[in-house]
C-alpha cells in the first residue's frame, strides 16, 4: 500500500485530445492576426501560435493505463491526407462569445475523421460527440467581452490565412499551468 505522498502510477490521469497540426505559415499568420485583435478592450487569453491546432476530439482525463489502448486504437485508423484552408477569424457565438477562432474549410474531411476516431475509441468507453463537427483553430478565449472585439474582427474580416495539407493526426497530452497549457505529443499517426 502506498504511503501518503507516494504516487501510484495506476491512478495517474492524462488530459488528452486528438489533434491535427496546421502549417507553421498558417500559425504565423494567425499570430499576426492575434496582435491586431489585442488592440480591442476585451480581456482574452491567447493561444500561443505554436500551439494553434485543430481539435478532432477532446478525450478529457484518461487513466494512464488506458493510454496504450487509445494509442493502438488511433494507430489503426487509415485516412488520406487532405487540404485545409484557413478562412475568416470569428467568434463561436456572436451573442455570447467565449472563443475566438479561425474558421477552416476541409471539404468535410474532419467530420469523416471524427467518425472514424469515435468508432475506434467508443469500445474503450469514450462518449461520442453530440454536436456537429465544426473545423476551427482556437486563437483566444474571451474572459471579459467588450464590443470593441467586433470592431477588431471587422478590421481583419477580409483576411485569409493560407492553406496546408493535413498528413496525419496526433494524440496530445495537455498539462495546465498558470502560464497556459503545455502540450506533449504522445502519438503521431501519419497517413
> Is pLDDT of 137 > 70?
yes
- Mean per-residue pLDDT for 5-28? 82
Q: Which of 27, 136, 170, 172 is catalytic?
A: 136
Residue 46 lies in a domain: yes
- Mean per-residue pLDDT for 120-125? 97
DSSP letters for the chain: -PPTT---GGG-EEEEEEEEEPPHHHHHHHHHHHHHHTTSS-EEEEPPGGG-EEEEEEEEEEEGGGHHHHHHHHHT-----EEEEEEEEEES-SSS--EEEEEEE-TTHHHHHHHHHHHHHGGGTPPPP-SPP--EEEEEEEEE--THHHHHHHHTTT----EEEE-EEEEEEEE--TT--EEEEEEEEE-
User: Per residue in 68-103, pLDDT tens?
Assistant: 999 999 999 999 999 999 999 999 999 999 999 999
Q: Which of 53, 57, 170, 172 is catalytic?
A: 53
Would residue 53 show up in a list of annotated catalytic residues for this protein? yes
Residue 1 lies in a domain: no
Residue 74 lies in a domain: yes
Write the CATH number for 170.
3.90.1140.10
Q: Mean pLDDT, the chain, as a whole number?
A: 93
For the chain, the domain total comes to: 1
User: Per residue in 2-14, pLDDT tens?
Assistant: 434 444 444 599 9
Would residue 69 show up in a list of annotated catalytic residues for this protein? no
Residue 9 lies in a domain: no
Supply the pLDDT for residue 11.
Answer: 57
Residue 2 lies in a domain: no
Domain encompassing residue 99:
14-190
Supply the pLDDT for residue 3.
Answer: 38
Supply the pLDDT for residue 159.
Answer: 86
Amino acid at each position: 500500500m502506498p504511503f501518503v505522498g507516494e504516487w501510484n502510477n495506476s491512478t495517474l490521469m492524462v488530459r488528452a485530445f486528438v489533434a491535427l497540426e496546421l502549417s507553421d505559415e498558417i500559425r504565423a499568420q494567425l499570430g499576426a492576426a492575434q496582435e491586431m485583435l489585442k488592440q480591442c478592450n476585451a480581456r482574452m487569453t491567447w493561444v500561443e501560435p505554436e500551439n494553434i491546432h485543430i481539435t478532432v476530439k477532446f478525450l478529457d482525463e484518461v487513466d494512464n493505463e488506458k493510454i496504450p489502448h487509445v494509442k493502438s486504437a488511433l494507430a489503426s485508423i487509415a485516412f488520406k491526407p487532405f487540404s485545409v484552408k484557413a478562412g475568416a477569424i470569428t467568434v463561436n457565438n456572436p451573442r455570447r462569445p467565449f472563443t475566438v477562432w479561425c474558421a477552416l474549410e476541409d471539404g468535410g474531411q474532419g467530420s469523416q475523421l471524427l467518425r472514424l476516431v469515435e468508432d475506434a475509441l467508443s469500445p474503450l468507453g469514450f462518449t461520442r460527440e453530440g454536436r456537429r463537427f465544426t473545423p476551427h483553430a482556437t486563437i483566444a478565449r474571451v474572459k471579459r467581452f467588450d464590443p470593441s472585439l467586433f470592431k477588431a474582427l471587422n478590421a481583419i474580416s477580409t483576411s485569409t490565412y493560407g492553406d496546408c495539407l493535413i498528413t496525419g493526426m496526433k494524440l496530445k497530452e495537455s498539462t495546465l499551468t498558470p502560464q497556459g497549457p503545455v502540450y506533449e505529443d504522445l502519438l503521431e499517426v501519419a497517413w
